[in-house]
Chains A and B, each alone.
Chain A
Amino acid sequence: MFKLAWKNLIHDRTRLLVTLVGIVFALVLILIQFGLFLGFLDTSANVVQKSGADLWVSAPGIPHVNGGSSFKETKRFQALSVPGVERADPYALFFVNWKLPSGATEAVQIAGFDLDGRMGGPWDLVAGSIEDLRGEDTVIIDQLYAAKLGVSSLGESVEINGRRARIAGYTRGIRSFTTSPYVFTSFKNAQNYVPLQEDETIFLLVKVAQGWEVEKVRRALEARLGRVEIFTNHEMWRKTQHYWVFSTGAGVTTLMGAVLGLIVGIVVVAQTIYAATVDHIREFGTLKAMGAANSRIYEVILAQAGMSAVMGYSMAIVIGWFVARGSESGNAPILLPPEVAAGVLALALAMCAGASLISIRKATSIDPAMVFRG
């Protein structure tokens, strides 16, 4: 029966091509839309996800990590006195102006972190090192934004909020969800660029000592620090993601795009597979007349659908991979982790099988007069 299914598929090359184009189009659409959504989620809170902190202490009522407000750094010393707190480092994330060579300005986000604790610092450095940030007015940017910020080489001097800064290193692939790139520097340097008093910080990033429960330490910090909010790293990550996804048009649009991609994909695959199966309806009727049990007919139809799904998926994943690779140098990353690739394969098989099941009903309830007439 598998031979019949395979030969049915390859016999009519034009029909096979039309079927595969339909499936590939639908799957690429789904892969890209979901990849975009995942890329959106990933970049919306990447500095939190990669911060290495266990707890985030902030002023009360902040909407997300990019919307923090200042509070007294003295709380840091109070935090350090709480049992179970290994480190409590100041951290600043703040929008400032970057002056371009043309004289125009570009908004960037200063990420000022403690160089000893390194929580909230950059990752994936491709030039320079974190130690280079110990120099005065040194910053690290992502190479993706170098051209946008008018930077052509390491060591180049730039101007941030009216103060000089020097490019000490590059990272690779640290995108900003907003149009403002991240600029990493030491917390000490950051205080020169952002409107913070010397005794103020925007966050405290807390590292919990080994063997201590994060939740217990959080409760102890809440009792000790008074009027602040404390989030676990995961909570801050989710809070920020949730804000960008659901409170901004961009997030909802991307999510809707992914859902629409799924719906359009399902409809296209369903129609394509249904049409391909119905093309062979007379042959299924003949098989039935010859004595094939319905289960044998299901075998052929499902095998045809499965083969179409696998062929279409193989092409779609290659196209999707190239598109994802191409997006690495752009502002809208498309992520295709193995889970998504596997999920879309399962989806392709399910969609093709589901669509063919509709035609199975047609094939197995076929009018015998159709079989007997020419």
Chain B
Amino acid sequence: MIEIRDLVKSYGKGGAQVNALRGVSLEVSSSEILMLMGPSGSGKTTLLSIMGCILTATSGSVRVNGLETVGLAESKLPRVRLENFGFIFQGFNLFPALTVEENVDLAFKLKGLKPRSAQLLERVGLADKRRTYPRDLSGGQKQRVAIARALAGDPPIILADEPTAALDSHSGQTVMEILAGLARERKRAVVMVTHDNRVLHYADRIVRIEDGRIVEQREEMVA
């Protein structure tokens, strides 16, 4: 699904140059939950951003479902994001002015699809909250709405940044159960950045990054 080779991302020039990623190579397969771990500033979010075509790489190769995205015209990147990725953010990033249903519908509309938010909200257990505004939801419920939104249009890859960081243990478990179900039952690839040790047992693989390099990769036993 995603093949990354010798990925480099640098900011600045000359003496002020900072290398956020220094030759990262990685593969992500369908039905897999891959967790990116590492200290703050290690390059996890940069890697996730480049995988999701939000940020462009300095050099190297990133193939998303066979399409090389490094060097791709910036105008073509939104289409790649729409067709391949669903995003889940640590801060939920729901639109406060829209209801739960409208938040999910928006993702369908961006993809040019007929809104089918009811099914997705059913799947994340929020069918009864369709007309509720995000301000009236708990953190866990907000993240489940964000998951429903990420699933609009059935993207093959879910990219999540600290999806359980702002949640209590019970809500975190619920969110991880949904993500795990996506990987196992719907053959989706789930890549998530996390510091949350409580959810590590959901991982198929854990990749540890430090100073822009992968320092450890280990396969996990499925929980």
| A residues lining the B interface (CB < 8 Å) | 3-4, 7-8, 10-12, 282-283, 286-294, 296, 368-369, 371-374
Also in contact, A374 and B87, with CB within 8 A (given A11-B97, A289-B54): no
- Inter-subunit contact B82/A291 (CB<8 Å): yes
A residues less than 8 Å from B85 (CB atoms): 291
Docked pose: A55 CA to B107 CA in angstroms = 71
- Inter-subunit contact B48/A291 (CB<8 Å): no
Docked pose: A122 CA to B161 CA in angstroms = 79
B residues less than 8 Å from A8 (CB atoms): 95, 97
- State the interface size on chain B (CB cutoff 8 A): 35
Also in contact, A373 and B54, with CB within 8 A (given A7-B97, A11-B96): no
Q: Report B82-122 residues with CB < 8 Å from chain A CB.
A: 82-83, 85, 87, 89-93, 95-98, 102, 106-107, 110-111
- Inter-subunit contact B96/A373 (CB<8 Å): no
A residues less than 8 Å from B111 (CB atoms): 291
- The yes or no answer to B166 lying at the interface (CB within 8 A) is yes
| B residues lining the A interface (CB < 8 Å) | 45-46, 48-49, 52, 54-55, 75, 78-79, 81-83, 85, 87, 89-93, 95-98, 102, 106-107, 110-111, 149, 161-162, 165-166, 193
The smallest C-beta distance from B205 to any residue of chain A, in angstroms, reads 21
Q: CB-nearest residue of chain B relative to A282? A: B93
A residues less than 8 Å from B102 (CB atoms): 3, 7
The CB with the most chain B CB atoms within 10 A, among A289, A368, A372, A374, is that of A372
Ordered by A's residue number, 17 sampled pairs between the chains whose C-beta atoms are within 8 Å are A10-B97, A282-B93, A283-B93, A283-B96, A291-B82, A291-B85, A292-B78, A294-B78, A369-B45, A371-B54, A371-B93, A372-B48, A372-B49, A372-B161, A372-B193, A373-B161, A374-B90
The smallest C-beta distance from B169 to any residue of chain A, in angstroms, reads 18
The smallest C-beta distance from B42 to any residue of chain A, in angstroms, reads 13
Q: Which of A7, A296, A372 contacts B89 (CB 8 A)?
A: A372
- Inter-subunit contact A374/B89 (CB<8 Å): yes
The CB with the most chain A CB atoms within 10 A, among B87, B95, B107, is that of B95
Give chain A's interface secondary structure class.
helix
Also in contact, A371 and B81, with CB within 8 A (given A4-B97, A286-B95): no
Q: Which of B55, B110, B149 contacts A296 (CB 8 A)?
A: B110
Docked pose: A296 CA to B75 CA in angstroms = 12
Docked pose: A286 CA to B161 CA in angstroms = 13
Also in contact, A368 and B54, with CB within 8 A (given A4-B98, A283-B95): yes
A residues less than 8 Å from B166 (CB atoms): 374
Q: CB-nearest residue of chain B relative to A8? A: B97
Docked pose: A49 CA to B193 CA in angstroms = 77
Docked pose: A4 CA to B105 CA in angstroms = 11
Docked pose: A292 CA to B45 CA in angstroms = 20
Q: CB-nearest residue of chain B relative to A285? A: B93
Q: CB-nearest residue of chain A relative to B150? A: A290
Also in contact, A290 and B110, with CB within 8 A (given A369-B45, A371-B54, A372-B90): yes
